[in-house]
Structure 1
Amino acid sequence: MNTANSDLPEKQRIAMVVEFDGQPFHGWQQQNNACSVQATMQEALQRIEGGSVVVTAAGRTDAGVHAEAMMVHADVSASRWQRSHLAYVHGINSFLPLQIRVIGVRAVDANFHARFDCRGRSYRYQIWNRSTASALHRWQHWWMPKTLDVEAMREAAQHCMGRQDFSAIRASGCQASSATRCIHTLTVEQSGHCITISVSADAFLYHMVRNLVGNLVDVGCGRSTPDAFAALLAGKDRSLGAATAPAHGLYFVDAQYDDFSSQALIGSF
């Protein structure tokens, strides 16, 4: 990445790994009358670049959703990139609020696209399962005071594995032409009061993870059963499913590409 070249193009496309606390933002995507992660990052980059910069992400998170390792790309000054990669880590971080940090960066080909080249995505959902809410984790977990049956949730989760139609857990406003997706991994783990649901797939539908979590919690609470959840998936009717889980328990964890991933780039400068 540090090879000098007198024939460098004017622009260099870079991939950045971004960590953010979604609580103060109205989601990733830039909006006219609300604070977004995309607009905040673009403003910080513009202070470095001296001109307009567009930042494109692997996923468009909703208001309140967090990211542990979101992949984004942007076109920046090739000469500045060659002089110091740290301008796009420490430099941009100095202009960002503390709720957003760039934690990895690398040069990529000019045709690399953070969203369209992504081969798989991973999310984590955190539930605080205790009779009293947490003062420390208020915006990091979904508080669930009723004790959940984790084994029943695990049994229900197995019905989601593989490639199938997930119409039953897509949002009513989802615009995807097909509801067929392939879930590669789906686990439900408990450590103390925290229940963590981790899921990886080739792609996700709008609100798919939050609707999945809502239905698994219904099973854990005893309002539904693993067999009933399997029947729900087979019936492909979203209106019969559980309520959507709140956004603030959800984390974008990883974006996978042909030769690297956002998790693998953490710490790369």
Structure 2
Amino acid sequence: MRLALGVSYHGSPYLGWQSQPSGQTLQDQLEKALAQFCEQPVHTLCAGRTDAGVHGLMQVVHLDTLLDREPCSWVRGTNRFLPRDIAVQWAQPVPDTFHARASALARRYVYLLLESPVRPSLEAGRVGWTFRPLDAAAMSAAAQHLLGEHDFTSFRASACQALSPVKTLRRIDISCRGPELARYWRFEFEGNAFLHHMIRNIMGCQVHVGAGLQPSHWMHQVLQARSRDVAAPTFAPDGLYFAGPVYGPEWGLPTCTPAFDWLP
């Protein structure tokens, strides 16, 4: 049987998603818990690998198993062995043709940013931070230059292993809430795929534009330059959340989890 799982996690204590010899990754923790629940080794494949410090609202993985158990048993049984900052949100049998990564039509990310003269405390590790006031109109105008299919080399980490820097950004939504002295900004991204550090590099440029350090059309210049040297520094991973993949309705998988609801 092929099984799909939706997993949420607080990424700060971990070295990213992909398994490493240290065992301090999210994949290692999940597979360790699944092995204890199944009483045999389990290998998983995910929809999208996340970096160290990045959080997950709905990472989706699939695994193949001979065990026949109810979905609720997979959720409760696996969570029993997971650390408190990782939780399986749902489990669902899927056809053998389903693939967590290859079946995804798009991927979604959210970046939470605190605009405040004072650094975050209760939200430390869960939001990015800037002390400079931000201009919503300027950032929205800058974001328009990134929509569509482009070569995103200027926003690509040197260690990126993607075969091509050409990706398609379908949506960038920007909103904020709260008083002027402590505003929470929410940036939502949806694209067919993302390069290593792509969103964090875009966020660095967005904050530069929002703070008035660069005009909105500078984003277009950065994009066309196809060089990391012309872009802003990579922004912190703290406020970045993988909101999960987008699948076709034929798979019947959940599109969100309760973990979505607490975000500003």
Q: Same fold (TM over 0.5)?
A: yes
Match among 10, 13, 16 for residue 27 of structure 1:
16
Unaligned 5+ runs, structure 2? 259-264
- Secondary structure at the residue paired with 1:115? coil
> What aligned pairs does 1:103-118 form with structure 2 within 5 A after superposition?
103-118=89-104
Q: Is the 8 A contact 1:254 1:262 kept in 2?
A: no
Aligned residue for 1:70? Answer: 59
The answer to whether 1:86 aligns with 2:68 is no
Matched, 1:139 2:130: no
Moved over 4 A (4+): 260-263
Q: Contact between 1:256 and 1:262, CA under 8 Å: does it hold in 2? A: no
The SS at the match of 2:202 is helix
Match of 1:264 among 255, 260, 264: 255
What is the percent sequence identity of the aligned residues?
33
Residues 1:245 and 2:218 are matched in the alignment: no
The number of equivalent residue pairs is 253
1:6 paired residue number:
none
Residue number among 201, 205, 225 corresponding to 2:215 in the alignment: 225
Report what 1:40 is aligned to: 29
Q: CA deviation at 1:214?
A: 0.7
- Please report how far the alpha carbon of residue 232 of structure 1 lies from its aligned counterpart in structure 2 after TM superposition: 1.1
Query: Is residue 163 of structure 1 aligned with residue 156 of structure 2?
Result: no
Would the aligned equivalents of 1:105 and 1:265 in 2 still touch at CA under 8 Å? no
Provide the secondary structure at the position in 2 that maps to 1:131.
coil
C-alpha deviation, 1:136, in angstroms? 1.2
Deviations 1:206-249 (A, max 9, x none): 11111111111111122211111111111211111001111111
* C-alpha spacing 1:126/1:266, structure 2 compared with 1 (3 Å): closer
> Which residue identity is paired with 1:241?
A
| Cα shift at 1:258 | 2.2
Q: 1:76 to 1:22 in 2, by over 3 A?
A: same
The 1:200–1:41 alpha-carbon spacing in structure 2 relative to 1, beyond 3 Å, is same
From 117, 122, 134, the counterpart of 1:148: 134
Q: Is the 8 A contact 2:150 2:166 kept in 1?
A: yes
Match of 2:261 in 1: none
2:175 corresponds to which letter in structure 1? E
Q: Which one of the candidate residues 25, 28, 41 is aligned to 1:52?
A: 41
1:125–1:265 CA distance, 2 compared to 1 (3 A): closer
| Aligned mates of 2:212, 2:256 — CA distance in 1 | 41
Partner of 1:5: none
Whole-angstrom distance in 2 between the partners of 1:169 and 1:204: 10
Q: CA deviation at 1:15?
A: 0.5
Q: Distance in 2 between matches of 1:21 and 1:116?
A: 25
The answer on whether the counterparts of 2:57 and 2:257 sit within 8 Å (CA) in structure 1 is no
- Structure 1: runs of 5 or more not aligned: 1-11
